[in-house]
Amino acid sequence: MDNKTQERINAWLSPSYDQATRDEIKKLQQQNPADLEDAFYKDLEFGTGGLRGIMGVGTNRMNRYTVGMATQGYANYLKQSFNEVKVAIAHDSRNHSREFAEITANIFAANDIKVYLFEALRPTPELSFTIRHFGCQGGVVCTASHNPKEYNGYKAYWDDGAQLVPPHDKNVITEVEKIKSLDDVKWSGGEKNITIIGKDIDEKYIEMVKSLSVYPDVCVAQHDLKIVYTPIHGSGIMVVPQVLKRYGFDNVHIVEEQATPDGNFPTVSYPNPEERETMSIGLQKAKELDADILLGTDPDGDRVGIGVKNHKNEWVLMNGNQTALLAFNYMIEARKAKGIAQPNDMVVKTIVTTDMIDVIAKANNVNCYNVLTGFKWIAELIKEKEGKENYIIGGEESFGLMIGSQIRDKDAESAVAIICEMTAYEKDKGRKLFDKLIDLYVQYGLYKENLISITKKGMNGAKEIADMMKTYRDNPPQMIAGIQVVQLLDYQNQTDVNLQSGESKKISLPRSNVLQFILEDGSKISARPSGTEPKIKFYFSVNTKLDNTADFDAKEKELDDKIAAIIGDMKLKS
């Protein structure tokens, strides 16, 4: 164990830290020195979105001390940036989330900052809405989103209700890094500055979500649409049932086994609606009830997964790209049919989200912008285009949608409502949602995407991922699965290189550690290390023409085989 790590451990064994913390460190010293080293070998990084890590004692863990020191740094920056400061604070169902939220509230309040603290757990998007509603300068939600139960986190927000973007992200990090001691933190003394909020804000948020409806009359006509919903032991239960009721749906079935908020997530190993295992109880209930649609939201209520019956009447889970393209198309197509589309309507997606959305937008004369991964970049673009273009929807492949501009983060609650409205819209025509999906493939081309996440844990994990990216960057493959690589987009170096002519253009987006390989046949492979987990993600996108619905299965298999060949040639294993 190096000297720096031992110094951190010794500091935490001082009386400045509570007895339970010191006892836990001594226990680890005796029983698991490797875990102790991992808990102290570095400080838990306050990244551009905030904190996220395993809960426990140590400088590299989520605990009351790391949360407290981060909050003091953030408070210092807010006070430097604004004359008067108000913040809103929310949390999800994770273990210690309420404790972390209250610690955060107390420290802000002790720094003479006005605090709006939710009375109990609430979805992340409601926090974004609340920041804008009260005219706050910042906000925090204590959550680790869809991570396993061992994790917790701390997302920091700015005055537009979005997560931090440059220069504020780096400036907050600088201030957090200045906090070297517990003595630098104002832990208490400003309790009078805390206001508890709850149902009144719920009502305003639900009304906002209701205002997003394009065809409320269709929802009323299809009020008995059979909906199965699971909050996966998370915060969605606080709002989603009320939202669906407000939309007029009165045949909603909650998955009772997953209805109670519980940070241990007892029915799943990974509380992520992207995972089939996580959605399996809901799928079973949907089958038993012969439902029209299944929906699931993650613990902090910002991601949504859906299950539908396909063209063979089999229950399938849609991937995030399919959900996004259906939602984007609905907001474009339905607004046009209703006569409420604007000539300056715009949509926004991320660079790793299906290019089929670009094709749909172009065909409908709607501007489609591509931004870096993360809804903060969608929010930043909305701010940049405000007054010039009319934002209607944004999204990314990782099961996130943001509908309307009244919040500035991904919102599973409004997504659930609009997806149910879409389903009702198709049912009103005697069709299933999946029928619409295939029709879009015939109209615009069949796009198929896949994702592989490779986890590299421990102290060496970050280096292995960095080495992998360096190899791809310095020696890009010339051929993948027998297809020539014709273009390399390097978002870190901000270069777009034509590998055939050698011509290079500048990428105008901010720097980000992402590489994209474009193949001669239009296939695209993206490599992107995660900013919140010890993972590197590879995204695959292929496409072909689909002449008619009868060819769907054969053409889809062709694309699946092509992705498998690409993954095999790149020697990638999840």
- Give the strands of the sheet with 252-254, arranged side by side: 252-254, 227-230, 293-297, 304-309, 315-317
- Give the strands of the sheet with 138-142, arranged side by side: 50-54, 151-157, 138-142, 86-91, 114-118, 194-197
Which parts of 301-407 fold into alpha helices (H)?
A: 320-338, 356-363, 375-385
Residue type at 303 in one-letter notation: R
422 token code pair: 């879409």
Q: DSSP letter at 150?
A: T
Contacts of 166 (CB under 8 A, 6+ apart): 510
Q: Are 546 and 554 contacting, i.e. CB atoms less than 8 angstroms apart?
A: no
CA–CA gap between residue 374 and residue 510 (Å, rounded): 12
Q: Are 361 and 328 contacting, i.e. CB atoms less than 8 angstroms apart?
A: yes
From the list 93, 97, 128, 145, the catalytic residue is 145
Please confirm, yes or no, whether 145 is among the known catalytic residues. yes
Q: Tell me which residue of 91, 76, 70 sits closest to 143, measured CA to CA.
A: 91
First to last CA, the chain: 31
Q: Are 227 and 253 contacting, i.e. CB atoms less than 8 angstroms apart?
A: yes
CA–CA gap between residue 288 and residue 60 (Å, rounded): 45
60-78 core/surface letters (b: 16 or more CB in 10 A; e: else) = bbbbbbbbbbbbbbbbbbb
Catalytic residues: 145
